[in-house]
Amino acid sequence: MAALRIPRLLPKRFRGDARGAAALEFALILPGMLAIYLAGVEVSAAVIADRKVTHATSVLADLVTQADGGISNVEMTNILDAVTTVISPYPADEFHVVISGIRVDDEGVARVVWSDALNATALAADTTVDLPTGLDQAESFLVMAEVSYDFHAGFGQIIVGTLELSDRFFLRPRYSAEICRPTCT
């Protein structure tokens, strides 16, 4: 194997000296290694936050659909408080939570009957909602839970910015045909 040619620009005393080679290689590799490590930390944090959003959405819909006929204002406040427990240790005031009762009429049009929110705006009554295929069964009732969170990356804020994590669940009531709130008719 041919020896590497060392440029003549280096003084003769440095041409054969390899004592600092390991330190030089480490200095060249370190920024890349740190970037990969920090990227792994950020991706892990984003995945954990996304799982919290999905879990909070599931819990919200599940708790509401367990009601037998209706939910009082106190019960809804307790349910929303339970969701803030699920999303901890993330700050609850940065999560946007909306829970809505959706009635599908005999023509398959889904309209909001009632809606409650935490750190967000509740949907207006009689607003039409697009349902996923297969859920638009005529003369039925659904509970729609929506949770969103703006994830702010720590080290990657400059590159990634803010990621909006959100999820939406549709569930049918378990123990009654419809779940009513004090505001529904």
Give the number of domains in the chain: 1
Task: Kindly state whether residue 180 falls inside one of the protein's structural domains.
Answer: no
* Dist CA 118 CA 83 (whole Å): 10
Query: Is residue 112 included in any domain, yes or no?
Result: yes
Q: Which of 92, 98, 91, 90 is nearest to 64 (CA)?
A: 98
Residue 2 located in a structural domain: no
- Comparing CA positions, the residue from 67, 54, 83, 45 lying closest to residue 180 is 67
In a domain, 53, yes or no: yes
Beta strands in 59-161 (DSSP E): 95-104, 110-118, 128-129, 140-152
Encode 53-69: b = buried (16+ Cβ within 10 Å), e = exposed: beebbbbbbebbbebee
Contact (CB, 8 A) for 96 and 149: yes
Judge whether residue 97 has pLDDT over 90: yes
Cα distance between residue 146 and residue 156, in whole Å: 27
Assess if residue 167 is contained within a domain. Answer: yes
Say if 73 falls within a structural domain: yes
pLDDT in tens, 125-179: 889 998 888 887 888 899 999 999 988 877 666 666 788 899 999 999 988 888 8
pLDDT tens, residue by residue, 28-82: 899 999 888 888 888 888 899 999 999 999 999 999 998 888 888 899 999 999 9
Its pTM stands at 0.78
Residue 5 lies in a domain: no
Residue 43 lies in a domain: yes
Provide the residue range defining the domain that includes 47. Answer: 24-171
